[in-house]
Amino acid sequence: MIFFIKFFVSWSYKEYIIFILASTVQFYIGFDFYKSSINALKNKIADMNLLVVVGTSAAYFYSLFVLFFPQFFPETSRNTYFESAAAIITFILLGRYLETKARNKATSFMKSLLNLKPQKSIIIVDGKEIEVDADSIVEGDIVVLKKGDKVPVDGIVIEGSCEVNQSAITGEYMPVLKEKGQNVISGSLVQDGYCKIKALRNAKSSVLNQIIKTILEAQSKKPPIAKFADKVVYYFVPTIIIISILTFDIWYFFTENFQLSLIPSVSVLIIACPCALGLATPIAVVSLIGRSAKEGILIKNSDVVEIINNVKTVVFDKTGTLTKGKLKVSSFILENEGLKDYLYTLASKSNHPISKAMVEKFEGSVLEVENFENITGKGLRAVINREIVLNGSLRLMKENNVEIPKKYIEFYENETKKGKVVVFLAVNSKVVGVVSIEDEIREEANEVISKLKKEGYEILMITGDSKNTALEVAKKLGIDNVYFEVFPEDKLKIVENLQEEGKKVMFVGDGINDAPAMAKADVGLSMSSGADIAKETGDAVILSNNLKSILKFIKLSKEGNKIIKQNLFWAYFYNSIGIPVAAGILYPINGVLLKPVFASIAMSFSSVSVVLNALRLQVKRL
């Protein structure tokens, strides 16, 4: 409206109308600029708001004196710039609005997480279903889940079954069937079925809340490159004010025209507003963390954005990282099919991982058992169908003078050379069966290791397992550098030795016994099934429990680093070009001065371009 009145209306008192409208913009709409500047100056800080205040106030008060005291100005200097001051504030606020919208897009994942938190949930109290506030659920409560419900708390299924979509938490695309004894993660969506879960922790301590808290903390942290940019801005503002004053002095010295000197002086203040500098890193970090979270990667330390480019050595833990951390039966020999029931019956009475693997493989009929005994570290003994049955290690067989036919000894020797665990089944002092068990390698492990090697990464594997087991896994995955039979403190020393050689190290582990090494590494990456996120050590957590996420993590971090550097380059480049132009360096060539209003437009769009560049991370194909 001010522009319309200024240039298209011929009222006698239009300048006074413009003055009233511009005053409203300057001191009401633009009040926050003054307030922020005063607060910053109290803390001995000169920020971009001060540049806006000084620049617009100079244009406004100059116009004010011209309007009410024209006799003090020559006729050639009686132009007013109310519209420029108002436009500057308007365009800067418009730029901030666009920045806010862009930030909201970058943090849309956070909003989607918050939407996964239900307001109400149903729990069982004295056998009755009662609706309560979801946040009031405590450990031990029995929660009812039906189709369409949002899971309010981490729990374990105690009755029924349901199909849940946990893609927002782990990145898994397909729904997962949860049955009795299986864990359910808060934030999951029940797509079908009915079940009851027992809360494993309070709702406020759930995985979903831990993830939200961790993302907020990560977004508030600044990598070293961002801290450097902050220091630049700290000194940048007073430097620009000095340049603006010098610009005015030089112009006035040569022209003795106050109005002509004021234009470039104000333009320098406006075009140099360090919005782009201030936004260059924060918006890129926010965008990176939001996109990573969508991919099932929880970045806890934003420093990795800067470090990742220098990492060329990746150290993997074996158990639970390169392998599934879950034993399975790989092969077996039994004298007859009926012996499967013997194995299943004995294994079903033990919680040992080996027994669980056999229960899964040999599911059958549970036979009547007498005198069951769990012999720690060796195996199981019982009486079944009046026969003495042993199921366990070679040591257990020898201690009980059990006869072992040659074919079983050969099987044992061949399988143990491959790093597998072998257990025997003996009935009445004679071995009648043998079972080989292994920790299954993740399906995606070969592909991930291969791609990392092609990209020039040095790959190492560390494990507490035996030499044979370690070498067999390493052979299958094409890993040449292997450390075996090591303790957690040994893993730490290995990482320290690599760093002493000048290498930047990424350690990938399960976040429990690998904690010391992971904390020492330049980048610590923890594999997680979604439980105890807050306790995980490391700079980032892979929630999807899929090794391919490591490749995504590296790509996203490198891209985030690239975007930060691009943003800083363009912000510095923009100012190095814009400030001289605003100061009037082109005036001797073409007689054109950059008016403050156009300087404000250029400044606003420079900030928006930085934001849009950062948002590329949200749509980048991996």
Catalytic residue among 141, 154, 317, 514: 317
Identify the DSSP state of 29.
I
Q: What's the CA gap between 150 and 153, in Å, rounded? A: 9
Residue with tokens 């930047």: 504
223-254 b/e (C-beta count within 10 Å ≥ 16 → b): bebbeebeebbeebbeebbebbeebbeebeee
Residue with tokens 């019982």: 382
Inter-helix orientation angle 82-106/596-614, to 10°: 0
Residue with tokens 């903390």: 217
The contacts of residue 147 (CB under 8 Å, 6+ apart) are 162, 190, 191, 192, 193, 194
**Bridge-partner residues for 403, per DSSP?**
430
Q: Which long-range contacts (CB under 8 A, 24 or more apart) does 23-32 make?
A: 23/60, 25/85, 25/86, 25/89, 25/90, 26/56, 26/57, 26/60, 26/85, 26/86, 26/89, 29/89, 29/90, 29/93, 30/56, 30/89, 30/93
Q: Strand, coil or helix: what is 77?
A: helix
Q: What's the CA gap between 215 and 541, in Å, rounded? A: 11
Give kind and range of the element (H or E) at residue 505: strand 505-509
Q: Is 531 exposed, middle or buried (0-12, 13-18, 19+ CB in 10 A)?
A: middle
| CA nearest neighbour of 415 among 437, 430, 393, 395 | 437
First to last CA, the chain: 48
Question: What are the φ and ψ backbone dihedral angles of 227, each rounded to 5 degrees?
Answer: -65, -35
DSSP 159-218: EEEEEEE-HHHH---S-EEE-TT-EE-TT-EEEEEEEEEEESS-GGGSHHHHHHHHHHHH
Q: Which long-range contacts (CB under 8 A, 24 or more apart) does 243-251 make?
A: 243/268, 243/272, 243/579, 243/583, 244/54, 244/55, 244/268, 244/269, 247/583, 247/584, 251/584
Question: What are the φ and ψ backbone dihedral angles of 521, each rounded to 5 degrees?
Answer: -60, 155
Question: At 236, which amino acid appears?
Answer: F
Q: Is 465 a catalytic residue?
A: no
Identify the DSSP state of 365.
P
CA angle 540, 546, 549 (to 5 degrees): 50
β-pairing verdict for 523-527 and 540-542: parallel
Q: What's the CA gap between 174 and 598, in Å, rounded? A: 52
Residue with tokens 């026969």: 387
Q: Which residues are annotated as catalytic? A: 317
